[in-house]
Amino acid sequence: MRPTESIAMSLANDAPRFRAGVILALFVMVAAPALLVIYQSVLDAPFFDDNVRFSLDAFRFVLTDPEFYRALWTTTLYAFGMVVVAVPLGGLLAFLITRTDLKGRKWLEPIVLVPMFLSSIVLAFGYTVSVGPSGFVTIAFKSLFGAAPWSIYTLPGIILIGGLSHVPTVYLYVASAMRRLPSDLEEAARTAGAGIWRVSLDVTLPMVLPALVFSAALNLLLGFETFGIPLVLGDPNGILVLTTYIYKVNTIFGAPTYQVMAAVTVFLILITLPLVFIQRRLLRHARRFAAVGGKGARTNLLRLGSTGQAVALGLIGLWLLVSVFFPVGGIVLRAFVENWGEGVRLTEQLTLANFKAVFEIPSLSRGILNTILLAGVGGAIAVAFYLLVGLAGHRNRGRSGTLLDYSVLIPRALPGLIVGLTFFWLFLFVPFLIPLRATLISLLIAYIIVGLSYGLRIIQSTLLQVAPELEESARITGASVYRSWRDVVIPLVRPGLAGAWAMIMIVFLREYATGVYLMSSGTEVIGSLMVSLLTSGAMDQIAALSFISIALTAVGLTLALRLGAKLHD
């Protein structure tokens, strides 16, 4: 006889009410924006309008607009181009740093990750002021060689810069797969007679292939959702991707056309949602692959030899020059000068005027304060929220666990710009939310949703490090499930929570897209201010804000390392 499932509740389904409550609340928070977008897309006016009716006009407009098709095509090219640039480079970097005796690989690793911690709007601006048509590097190059044979305001330029800025993401996944690779697999091939390069090709590469494929899928998704780089670099030549198309729709019509924005978003979700699901499957597959091996002390690093060292270091140096030094250096320089050009000595132009202006304009100085508040205090609140969600999902094999799984996926398919927009709508018209719109709380809620999948992954992996027996022994000793969380789980994960807080802080510091629509007078944040300043062309202030953003990120990163945060998992 097969017993019914009804009494087959296991220990995992303790605290069912807490779990169901938290997970349902989360589901509402993530589903509301997605559903609102879909609803708005089939209306003929803003959904709060009195005379609103169902209509497919928005889709009709979008599908007959050549600009939309151009943007769709550009986005596709951008996403795939980014993968083509980022995946081989990231894989190669991971191989050189984890598998060879490359000199200085210990201190190269954190530097390699720098582009990941900067917001892409800051990066893009950095490229404008360094290698743009009148950038420092371009001018210096012109004065030396007479001409600068590049233009970053073209699609290939944008793709290249987008790809370079995503190398760290690939690097992280591939490097951790290479580190997990048990050395006995390679040693077995060595003893069977394969040379060291042969082993890399025949054993190492196939073993890290799942990680490569996964990071390709991830970058494809990030490519479709990209906003900052095309916004800054594509604008001068009118190159639009889907997100910037959504952003520019208002200027085309001259008035808010929410239904058109929503319709384009629906198309975007149709692309990103399948990508999210593919990624999820790939990740499971990659984990299964990785679970095969145990841990082995890696004694055999590939010897590069002096020529190899020179080539590898040269390659990495070039990448660092272009990916880190140009944008960051450009911003640092630009923040302290007002005039430059051919024949101008920059040393005579150094000034603090840009910063003075920033601190004199109330909205900008408020923005800096708000950003720090949102990242610091908001980050802590976010971690507390993620911890609640993490506990609700902790060793939860019930139905609510599945709902949680899917809830986490939804925001990944929505770019920050859209999450911000829909929360703006919600805070504009849901009665009990209206008073919160002009406060930082509205931004914080949107930020929590945007950071959900990253934040929850950190918390979940921290929670999983607590051995189940430690919780079980508390239960046996007489503690309820809540007591066992309070007395055992949370004290044990506390160091991990501090690290998670620092990492979330960095994520919130660099966020720029979410606040574009959501911020209002009094709730400005640095990133979104930069987006709106771009329209007015206030480059001096953008430069100063970018510099401040980099400085804050550096502080956050130092804090994260101090608190023992792992930059990768």
Partner 1 sequence: MTELVVDNVEKWLGGLKILSGASFTAEKGRIVALLGASGSGKTTLLRCIAGLEQPEIGRIVIGGKTVLDGEAGVALPPEAREIGLVFQSYALWPHRTVFENVAYGLRLRKRPAAEIKTRVETILDKLGLAHLAARYPDQLSGGQQQRVAICRALVYEPKVLLLDEPLSNLDAKLREEARFWIRKLILELGICAIMVTHDQGEALAIADHVLLLKGGSIVQDGTPLQIYGQPTSFYAADFMGTNNVLSGAFEPQSDGGAVIRCEGWSLPGIWRDAEPPRDASDIRAVVRVETIMVSSEPTATSQPLDVEGCIYLGDKWEYRLRRGSVRLRAQGASELSSDVAHCTVQPASTWLFNP
Note the residues at the interface with partner 1 (CB under 8 A).
2-4, 7-11, 14, 467, 469-470, 472-481, 483, 487-488, 491-492
Residue 13 CB, nearest approach to partner 1 (Å): 9
Structure-token pair, residue 423: 């929360």
357 vs 492, beta carbon nearer partner 1? 492
365 vs 480, beta carbon nearer partner 1? 480
Whether 500 and 455 have beta carbons less than 8 Å apart is answered as yes
Q: How many CB atoms lie within 10 A of CB 442?
A: 25
Structure-token pair, residue 48: 């709060």
The residues near 442 (Cβ < 8 Å, ≥ 6 apart) are: 423, 424, 427, 433, 436, 518, 523
State residue 302 phi and psi, 5-degree precision. Answer: -65, 135
Q: Position of tokens 């239904």?
A: 259
8 vs 291, beta carbon nearer partner 1? 8
Q: How far apart are CA 378 and CA 400, in angstroms?
A: 27
Q: How far apart are CA 137 and CA 153, in angstroms?
A: 15
488 vs 507, beta carbon nearer partner 1? 488
Q: How far apart are CA 114 and CA 122, in angstroms?
A: 12
Q: Is 43 helix (H, G, I), strand (E, B) or coil?
A: strand
Residue 186 CB, nearest approach to partner 1 (Å): 31
Q: Position of tokens 């660099």?
A: 510
Residue 237 CB, nearest approach to partner 1 (Å): 59
Residue 481 CB, nearest approach to partner 1 (Å): 8
471 vs 540, beta carbon nearer partner 1? 471
State residue 322 phi and psi, 5-degree precision. Answer: -75, -40
8 vs 192, beta carbon nearer partner 1? 8
Residue 568 CB, nearest approach to partner 1 (Å): 25
Residue 485 CB, nearest approach to partner 1 (Å): 13
439 vs 473, beta carbon nearer partner 1? 473
Structure-token pair, residue 449: 């949703």
Q: How far apart are CA 482 and CA 485, in angstroms?
A: 5
With vertex at residue 507, the alpha carbon angle to CA 318 and CA 540, rounded to the nearest 5 degrees, is 65
Residue 498 CB, nearest approach to partner 1 (Å): 15
